[in-house]
Amino acid sequence: MSRSAFRSHLRPTLDLAYPVMLSQLGHVLVNVCDSMVVGQTGKIPLAAVSLSVSVSTVVMVLGLGLTMGITPLVATADGRRDVPALGRLLVNGVWLSASAGLVLALLGLLVPQVLPYLGQPAPVVALAAPWVKVMFLSFFPLMLFQGFKQFAEGLGLTRQAMLLSVQANLLNAVLCYGLVFGKLGMPEMGMMGAAWATFIARVLMAVLMAAYVLVAVRLRPYRQAAALNLRPDAAGLRRLLGLGAPIGVQMTFEMGAFSFSAIMIGWLGATQLAAHQIAINVASVTYMAASGIAAAATIRVGKHVGAHDAPGARQAGLMAYLITFGFMSLMGLVLVLGRHHIPHYYNHDPAVVAQAATLLLIAAAFQVSDGLQVVGLGALRGLEDVKVPSVVALLAYWAVALPLGYVLGFRLGWGATGVWVGLLTGLSLVAGVLLLRFRRRPVLLVAAVNEPALAVR
């Protein structure tokens, strides 16, 4: 990439990325806050949060993935200035998100029945079951938020979702503290207070994001186009699902691997599970920051494709790779230096802190791999290239990472450390394969700008 191309892509990518980073962090900071507050009540409640988050997050990311097909299609339509198409995407995207949210919320009635069969300590399961029900109920407003958010972000309007996420997280933190400990005039609900705080914050996010899209003056042309027919159309929904379903499957394979690793670690006891929750909570913060850069890559690559600018699309993707490499390298250093101090913000049990410090060292090792694999996914989504990455994720996580983690953790006696080494291996494989795929993009980029369907494989 030439110096002029570097300068022309750096600022636009950062301008898009940092609001999305903060917005994406909103999803995980809810769990960070819950874990920190609940962890002060003991390691059993913290382990219960770990189990609950592991189970509910697998389903949540499937729903989030379904909505992520909205963004590249909106970006491409915006690149060619197709207002009628943007109006249909708004209608279809909101219908898809609301329908998926309703299904996910109803699943919350069934999932708690499965928890006793996961081999976890009985006290942990007893605390986790009601928590899971409330988490699943909160998926309906969360999915509504996503439908409107992904549409706005496809247009490059990323700051609004960021501001709403910050406000919702502040509300969640206040409610979490008040409802868990019975402070600020609120009832004392223990760990369930954190669950209800999350539900209330997500309702607020949905209401405010919908209000922005439905009221903002700059979005009036798209609302007017959407108002011509407020019913979804089958072809439009199939198009969204054609992109979103593979993304959701890929995210489920990845998150499912991490969730199943938590279940395996739970077989070792509450101490190891609590330590895992601390380490994965911290690692998820840096991951969501990198996913913000990936979202910027999706938007910018998609717009260049819509404008028939293949070189610009390739350069936009490479810029996202460079930014992510630098950022995640720095985050890895932070985790190495802070691994003995960070766990104390969650729990003070010496055994939990010691195990968490070891896991954070492994988390530091996979920062770059984790960042590069998510930004690779984002750049490829901008080209509507979503099916092959799903297969890559399936093989890397479920055929390599989890079996290797089981062998190291249980057959060789490495415990939770072995399970995490397996995850490190899987992430590195995905990062490497997707980078190689993106390097092939000159041929596929030409196909994408001439006939977008060719890039969907």
Higher-confidence position of 330 and 50:
330
Which pLDDT band, with edges at 50, 70 and 90, does 441 fall under?
low
DSSP-based three-state secondary structure for 366: coil
| 414-418 average pLDDT score | 94
Q: Which two tokens stand for residue 185?
A: 């005039």
Task: Give the pLDDT mean for 277-306.
Answer: 86
What's the average model confidence in pLDDT over 424-451? 73
DSSP-derived letter for residue 342 is: G
Give residue-wise pLDDT tens across range 156-199. Answer: 887 888 888 788 888 988 999 999 999 999 999 988 998 999 99
Handedness of CA 251, 51, 285, 176 (dihedral sign): positive
- Name the domain count of the chain: 1
368: its two tokens: 């770059």
DSSP of 96-114: HHHHHHHHHHHHTTTGGGT
Given a cut of 70, whether residue 299 has pLDDT beyond it is: yes
Q: Decide: helix, strand or coil at residue 9.
A: helix
Rounded to whole angstroms, the Cα distance separating 94 from 365 reads 39
Q: Residue 443 has what pLDDT?
A: 42
C-alpha 175/C-alpha 186 separation (Å) is 8
* The two structure tokens encoding residue 59: 């389903």
Cβ neighbourhood burial of 311 (10 Å; 0-12, 13-18, 19+): exposed
Output the pLDDT for position 13. Answer: 82
pLDDT in tens, 124-149: 889 899 999 999 999 999 999 999 99
- Given this model, what pLDDT does residue 178 score? 94
Lowest mean pLDDT across 299-303, 340-344, 422-426: 299-303
pLDDT at 122 over 70: yes
pLDDT of residue 343: 93
Summarised one tens digit per residue, pLDDT across range 211-224 is: 999 999 999 999 99
Please name the residues in contact with 1: beta carbons below 8 A apart, sequence gap of 6 or more: 9, 315, 318, 319
SS3 69: coil
> What tens digit of pLDDT does each residue of 249-262 get?
888 888 888 889 98
- Whole-number pLDDT of residue 446: 45
Q: How far apart are CA 87 and CA 152, in angstroms?
A: 12
Structure tokens at 135: 């988490």
Domain span at 356: 3-455
Q: Say if residue 453's pLDDT is above 50.
A: no
Q: Which two tokens stand for residue 301?
A: 């690559």
10 Å CB burial of residue 292 (0-12, 13-18, 19+) is buried
Q: What is the pLDDT of residues 329-375, one digit of tens each?
A: 999 999 999 999 999 988 889 999 999 999 999 999 989 999 999 99
Nearest to 326 by CA among 19, 17, 26: 17
- How many CA atoms lie within 13 Å of 419's alpha carbon, on the beta-carbon side? 24
How far apart are alpha carbons 310 and 306 in whole angstroms? 9
Q: Write the CB contacts of 337 (distance below 8 Å, at least 6 apart in sequence).
A: none
Count of other CB atoms within 10 angstroms of residue 4: 8
Give the integer Cα–Cα distance in Å for 438 and 430: 12
Report pLDDT for 28. 67
> Average pLDDT of the chain?
87
